[in-house]
Structure 1
Amino acid sequence: MDSRVAPALWTELLAQDVMKEMGGHHIMGLCVLKWGYKFFADLLDYIKAPNRNSDKSIPMTVDFIRLKIYCNNQSTGDIKVIGGDNLSTLTGKNFLIVEDTIDTDRTMQTLLSLVKQHNPKMVKVASLLLKRTPRSVGYRPDFVGFEIPDKFVIGYALDYNEYFRDLNHACVISETRKAKYKA
């Protein structure tokens, strides 16, 4: 992997793939905060772009949920779900979960289990990054920007203890920065 990746380059292509599978139907987008907000906003902009130049608009609604699992660069083992209080609005809808990174799969499996309890018509997952890690149980999202090695990535809303979200690119954090910004 290049040490710096501009994720927006892949976002337009992912939006086209999403539209091929889900287009023409009302899409309910669920952004997994805090990490996924930039990717979510960019992806929705590309999904909505054809609507601007067409008399046929695809209805979209959005919601947000937060899943907390990391301290420093280590998983705590506990997945805390914050938000998503009214997921009953998902019933019968086409649902797109937008996540920044999928690595061990536990977080996404927890969220998918929660979402499926509300009987959506369709559930698809878009992830900017898919981490190749031996801790994975093999889950693969429906839409993937690109695969990365088992490294801790920051930037493009991905943080290390709330730092580096503001970077416009994604990169692997150095050991020096990990020590400097450790919680």
Structure 2
Amino acid sequence: SSAGSVTATRSPSVAISDDAPGYDLDLFCRPNQYAEDLEKVFIPHGLIMDRAERLARDVMKEMGGHHIVALWVLKGGYKFFVDLSRPMTVDFIRLKSYCNDQSTGDIKVIGGDDLSTLTGKNVLIVDDIIDTGKTRQTLLSLVKQHNPKMVKAASLLVQRTPRSVGYRPDFVRFEIPDKSVVGYAPDYNEYSRDLNHGCVISETGKAKYKA
């Protein structure tokens, strides 16, 4: 089957419609252990990589060349971060806000360097997915307390969901329906990070990996 309606929006993101059927799993290579855990391939790896290159160009153009500190939100954004941040200085922060496929609304900073090192820097926060936006808004507030010169945010995915507080990152690869997508680093309770494609997890997979 085809991917269905995939259209470029006026922003740099690509919007995938709510009724997009995705692709049959058998058309793509995937780890055998996930055979019953996935419903379909939603975003093929090649499309993700092409969007990575374009988004990196947009970031560098807007934020002023190579003088950028990329703040990686562990663990979910690691593949996205590697593709995006090769010409940048890097720093790390680890957050916890999810249980199963829902954001808890609470943000816990559980690792990373002292954010005071960001003072006076051009900072790019890199994450894998935005749903409600509460976690990202809280992190932005924490970063801004240390007076960076500039702070922007990039995300692989933004979900269209009624739970959203209306936050949207400055740079987005894909806007997607309110589905549980795993692969290319986004996970389900730490499972399925190793998939190269963005896939919709099945109800069987949700039950298997439920916290």
- Which TM-score band applies after superposition, normalised by the shorter structure? 0.7 to 0.9
Aligned to 2:67: 26
* 1:114-164 Cα shifts (integer Å, max 9, x gaps): 000000000010111111011111111110101000111111111112110
RMSD, aligned CA: 1.3
Partners of 1:76 and 1:141 lie apart in 2 by 20
Unaligned runs of 5+ in 1: 49-59
Aligned to 1:95: 123
Partners of 1:85 and 1:23 lie apart in 2 by 24
1:182 and 2:210 are equivalent in the alignment: yes
Q: Which runs of 4+ in 1 moved over 2 A?
A: 1-4, 74-78
8 Å contact 2:105–2:135 — kept in the other structure?
no
Unaligned runs of 5+ in 2: 1-19, 23-40
Mapping of residues 35-50 of structure 1, within 5 Å:
35-45=76-86, 48=87
The amino acid of 1:70's aligned partner reads Y
Between 1:78-87 and 1:61-70, the stretch displaced more is 78-87
1:121 and 2:149 are equivalent in the alignment: yes
Count of aligned pairs between the two proteins? 170
TM-score for both structures, normalised by structure 2: 0.77
Aligned to 2:37: none
The amino acid of 1:150's aligned partner reads D
TM-score for both structures, normalised by structure 1: 0.88
1:181 Cα shift? 1.9
8 Å contact 2:157–2:173 — kept in the other structure?
yes
Between 1:36-45 and 1:69-78, the stretch displaced more is 69-78
Q: Secondary structure in 2 aligned to 1:176?
A: helix
Aligned to 1:10: 51
